Amino acid sequence: MTKTYDIVIVGAGSAGSAIASRASEDPTRDVLLLEAGADYPDPATTPFDLINSHNNSYREHDWGLGYSPTEGRSAPLPRGKVTGGSSAVNTTIALRGIPEDFDEWDELGNGEWAWNKVLPAFKRLERDLDFPDADYHGDAGPISIRRYPERELLEHQHAFLESARSLGYPSCEDANAPDSEGAGPHPMNKLGRMRVSCAIGYLAPARARPNLTIEPSTFVRRLIIEGDRCTGVEVERDNGTIELVRGHCVVLSAGAIMSPAILKRSGIGPKRELEQFGIDLIRDATGVGDNLCDHPALAVSCVAKDASIIDADQPLIQTILRYTAAGSDKRNDLQIELLSFGPNRRGRATFAIAAVLEYTFGRGFLRLASADPHVAPIIENRFCEDDRDARRLASCFRDTLAFTKAPPLDGMIEELAFPNLKRGIDDETMLKLCKGRSSSGYHPCGTARMGPKEDPQSVVNEYGQLHTLENVLVADASIMPSVPRANTNLTSIMIGEKIGEWLRTSPTIYGL
């Protein structure tokens, strides 16, 4: 007879790894963690692209997805396909959203996600090496976080902070302080060169538990639904074998792209879309795949006067500026950061300064392209179609250009490779650039958003449970009602922390 697990978790990414670790702390629960990608149980033999926190891993452990940032364009959308998920391939930026982000989630009917309710989970996940005694930081969590001290900053990263001061921005020693703003070192989940992913922070110490099973190279095709209940998942092994895996509770933690795609292939989604591909409708859930949120960004490309400062073996990012757009009532809705190296342009060494819109009004969507689970979904971000977004990103891009004229950074720039300043920096030109050239910050979320059952566009309740089906929940960036004003990895881990703790300490919520 096939074993039935207490908890089956789909996806060993940022949230899924945290859930597996926390839920399996109860030795009476059999927990199965399924991952489509590879698994590397021994950190000593983990491939270098996953260890190397100085840059992202773009290809070796990637889903190979593409997206359309703006109309008529397509680009790769890197997503981690490996235990640890995108936490194992990203830039190791450990930035929290600000309190207002989570209080807005609360105002939408998700009381368990107010700032005072999520702060304990943020503290529980982290081991902050710089501010362990602050009452808003943790000092014993699985994810180690530190900031580059001034002596470790690259020359142009240091110049970025000096230029920020010359432009009148305040200094900020801890960007994760609840009331923080200004320029300073980035909080990062890295130790030396090692990326402290969720595979290392959460899964490595949990692997010895006999009640936790990790099965890599296992692709989840769809949910198994019997009546009003989800009873397991249909999986495909590396050798092509298709099997059923049974569970009393199924947790979808496959990420903001794959979780809604699995729901749709299982018959849970917009009726018209599912009928188009001959998928039997189980539940008409119009919100699945809608509300796609992300951070649109546009970068100034700078040709370095001294090519020797550009070294792709050095950290890609070390510093950050968070600030508020003029006239905006959304605090810290803009971000500027320096990228230590960029593409070689006709033999010239470059670095970049990125303008990023952190609070967005516009939304995109995710649609199936086929009922075949191996065909990637269609991802349309529609960046800057909302004029409120376009205007604020344009102002941020203009602020970013000011850095190229501010000492001491200005003395390190030979010329700009992008944009062409001969075309002007007037409002019309800046808006056109943002609407035509902005790209993803690689922070997709919101595609199965949480909210009260009375909200027809919400997909899950505040505990991650599907409104329309028992024994299944979504627990990853999909459930965020909106993108936080920060890189999303730490918030995704926080979601895993909260739901993992609920599964462990309040299992009756989930019928366990």
pLDDT for 258-282, tens place per residue? 999 999 999 999 999 999 999 999 9
User: Quick one: fold of 149-179+298-359+384-437?
Assistant: Cholesterol Oxidase; domain 2 (3.30.410)
- Statement: residue 345 has pLDDT above 80: no
Of the pLDDT bands very low, low, confident and very high (cuts 50, 70, 90), residue 2 is confident
| CA dihedral sign, ordered 39, 42, 48, 51 | positive
Residue 468: the pLDDT is 86
Among 316, 381, 318, smallest CA distance to 343 is for 316
Sorted by sequence, the CB contacts under 8 Å of residue 422 that are 6+ apart come out as none
pLDDT for 356-382, tens place per residue? 999 999 999 999 999 999 999 999 999
Residue 107: the pLDDT is 98
CA–CA distance, 209 with 164 (Å, rounded to integer): 49
* Cis before 452 (ω within 30): no
Of the pLDDT bands very low, low, confident and very high (cuts 50, 70, 90), residue 76 is very high
The residue-averaged pLDDT of 454-470 equals 96
Q: What is the CA radius of gyration of the chain?
A: 22
- For the chain, the structural domain boundaries read 1-147+186-295+440-512, 149-179+298-359+384-437
Residue 410: the pLDDT is 97
Longest CA span, the chain: 72
The residue-averaged pLDDT of 214-243 equals 96
Residue 398: the pLDDT is 96
Percent of all residues in the chain with a pLDDT value above 90, rounded to a whole number: 96
pLDDT for 287-305, tens place per residue? 999 999 999 999 999 999 9
The residue-averaged pLDDT of 308-318 equals 96
Residue 425: the pLDDT is 85
- Statement: residue 82 has pLDDT above 80: yes
Percentage helix, strand, coil, to 5, in the chain? 30, 25, 45
Of the pLDDT bands very low, low, confident and very high (cuts 50, 70, 90), residue 433 is very high
Rounded to the nearest integer, the mean pLDDT of the chain is 96
CA–CA distance, 291 with 288 (Å, rounded to integer): 8
CA–CA distance, 5 with 64 (Å, rounded to integer): 31
Residues in the chain, total: 512
The residue-averaged pLDDT of 333-341 equals 98
Is CATH 3.50.50.60 the classification given to domain 1-147+186-295+440-512? yes
Among 337, 262, 255, smallest CA distance to 294 is for 255
